[in-house]
A = this chain, B = another copy of it.
Amino acid sequence: MKAVIEVDYLFPAGSSPEQQAEALAIGQTAGTWDARFIHREAALREHLGEIRALEILPDGQSVARIAFPLANVDGGMGSLLTMIFGKYSLGGTAKILDLRLPADYGLQPRFGMEGIRQQLGVFRRPLVMAIFKPALGLSATDHAEILAEVAWAGLDIIKDDEILPNLPKAPTLERWRACAPILEARRDRLGRDLLYAVNLSGNAAQVQDLARRLVAEGANALLLNVFAYGPAVLEALAQDPEINVPIFAHPALAGAFSAAPAHGLSYRVTLGRLLAHAGADAVLYPAHYGSLPFPAAEEFAIRDILRQRGLACVPSAGVHPGILPAIMEDYGSEVILNAGTGIMDHPQGPASGVRAFFEAWERYGAQESFALSSLPAGPLRAAMEKWGPHG
């Protein structure tokens, strides 16, 4: 049996699922041909898609499962997306609900959760990650000052805000150069690394060049807005032997693909399948307990897809120390706790923001209550007085 990529499409009520499915299986592959190509009949046939299942749902919508030949694509996301949705997306209404790729399609993470733990030398507890805030308007020196505060409090990972590109007022390389000595000093004193995922920007060539320069100067992690720059840019970074650091994939703009109920590709496809096969090591995505309304089922589907390929899960947006018990229930300790304002806007300052997470983790481990009345004075209590518990 030939190797295939199976894709599930949702069609709206009132459309003809047979016709739509054929437009995908035939129209997005070899199409039709006439007598002039009889001599190529076998070769052409090999490239045709095949309708595997067709189901009408009770509400009149329908779902088709279509198998596309692996022989039509090159192992990358660009040719895959062009085949499964390319031209069709401009005419036929459909949403891609899920897709199943062979395990050897595309790229594996080079680091993943395990590799990130190895870099940090932290193995049993959840990792704590912060975001530089405010996102725009700070100088390289401001960044270094903020980093120093959280570094000495024991933070594991920090990242740029995704909206901060390479700007003349705070060039990316300068920000890195201002921060690098703090990471070195911490390694010397605490004996373990802090990863700083530096945000990449520019055209595809500039992104790769910037990544190489950063890594050459010691940068130990990178951040890419994969959907705003393009999946092919992530793939190029992940296949570049000079860029041997974990790549954090940010979900910015994924909603433009995934948020509509009857169009585009589901979040589990964009933030799950696609990133898991395009070389990302860690994926940020909205946590349903957070500040963005996000369906829990989609979050858990993403979690499971990422874990199956060894990527790090980074549920994000509106995460603060009081949410820790809820995240532990859903993730256990194999998770990166990523807080922006939930660390930076802590009433006692960013260092206390970091400490509040570690205090919450210890308290959770000791099975102690998170009720405000039972908390001692300190970072966790101050955080929960500001942001409350989960829910």
Q: Please tell me how many copies of the chain the complex holds.
A: 2
The distance from the CB of A173 to the nearest CB of chain B, in whole angstroms, is 14
Considering the chains assembled together, what is the distance between the CA atoms of A341 and B167 in angstroms? Answer: 47
A residues 62-120 touching B (CB-CB < 8 Å): 71-74, 76-79, 81-83, 85-91, 93
Considering the chains assembled together, what is the distance between the CA atoms of A109 and B251 in angstroms? Answer: 30
Are A253 and B208 in contact, with the CB atoms below 8 A?
no
Q: Is residue A162 contacting chain B, with contact meaning CB distance below 8 A?
A: yes
Q: Is residue A229 contacting chain B, with contact meaning CB distance below 8 A?
A: yes
Query: Within 8 Å CB of A349, what residues of B?
Result: 36
Known contacts A74-B202, A89-B252, A91-B291; A29/B163 CB under 8 A: yes
Are B166 and A135 in contact, with the CB atoms below 8 A?
no
Interface positions of A (Cβ within 8 A of B): 28-34, 36-37, 40, 43-47, 71-74, 76-79, 81-83, 85-91, 93, 133-139, 142, 162-163, 165-167, 169, 201-208, 225, 227-233, 235-236, 239-240, 251-257, 259-260, 262-265, 285-286, 291-294, 317, 341, 345, 349
Query: Within 8 Å CB of A345, what residues of B?
Result: 34
Known contacts A30-B136, A91-B317; A236/B204 CB under 8 A: yes
Known contacts A89-B259, A135-B30, A162-B82; A229/B228 CB under 8 A: no
Considering the chains assembled together, what is the distance between the CA atoms of A135 and B74 in angstroms? Answer: 15
Are A28 and B263 in contact, with the CB atoms below 8 A?
no
10 contacts between A and B (CB under 8 A): A30-B136, A81-B252, A90-B252, A91-B255, A205-B240, A229-B231, A233-B233, A256-B257, A256-B265, A260-B264
Known contacts A256-B257, A262-B260; A46/B208 CB under 8 A: no
Are B74 and A167 in contact, with the CB atoms below 8 A?
yes
Are B230 and A231 in contact, with the CB atoms below 8 A?
yes
Known contacts A87-B252, A90-B254, A165-B79; A203/B235 CB under 8 A: yes
The distance from the CB of A175 to the nearest CB of chain B, in whole angstroms, is 14
Are A47 and B77 in contact, with the CB atoms below 8 A?
no
**11 additional contacts (CB under 8 A) given A29-B163, A232-B233, A259-B263:** A78-B201, A79-B163, A85-B256, A87-B162, A87-B251, A91-B292, A202-B232, A204-B232, A207-B232, A230-B231, A259-B264
Are A78 and B229 in contact, with the CB atoms below 8 A?
yes
The distance from the CB of A383 to the nearest CB of chain B, in whole angstroms, is 15
The distance from the CB of A196 to the nearest CB of chain B, in whole angstroms, is 19
Known contacts A44-B134, A47-B136, A136-B44; A74/B256 CB under 8 A: no
- The 4 lowest CB-CB distance pairs between A and B, nearest first, are A230-B230, A89-B255, A86-B252, A91-B292
Query: Within 8 Å CB of A239, what residues of B?
Result: 203, 205
Query: Within 8 Å CB of A71, what residues of B?
Result: 167, 169
The distance from the CB of A148 to the nearest CB of chain B, in whole angstroms, is 13
Are B235 and A78 in contact, with the CB atoms below 8 A?
no
Considering the chains assembled together, what is the distance between the CA atoms of A379 and B93 in angstroms? Answer: 35
Considering the chains assembled together, what is the distance between the CA atoms of A33 and B47 in angstroms? Answer: 56
Considering the chains assembled together, what is the distance between the CA atoms of A91 and B72 in angstroms? Answer: 35
Considering the chains assembled together, what is the distance between the CA atoms of A71 and B265 in angstroms? Answer: 32
Query: Within 8 Å CB of A202, what residues of B?
Result: 74, 76, 78, 232
Known contacts A137-B40, A167-B71, A204-B204; A228/B78 CB under 8 A: yes
The distance from the CB of A22 to the nearest CB of chain B, in whole angstroms, is 14
Query: Within 8 Å CB of A91, what residues of B?
Result: 255, 286, 291-294, 317
Query: Within 8 Å CB of A32, what residues of B?
Result: 134
Are A137 and B30 in contact, with the CB atoms below 8 A?
yes
Whose C-beta in chain B lies nearest to the C-beta of A230? Answer: B230
Query: Within 8 Å CB of A254, what residues of B?
Result: 89-90
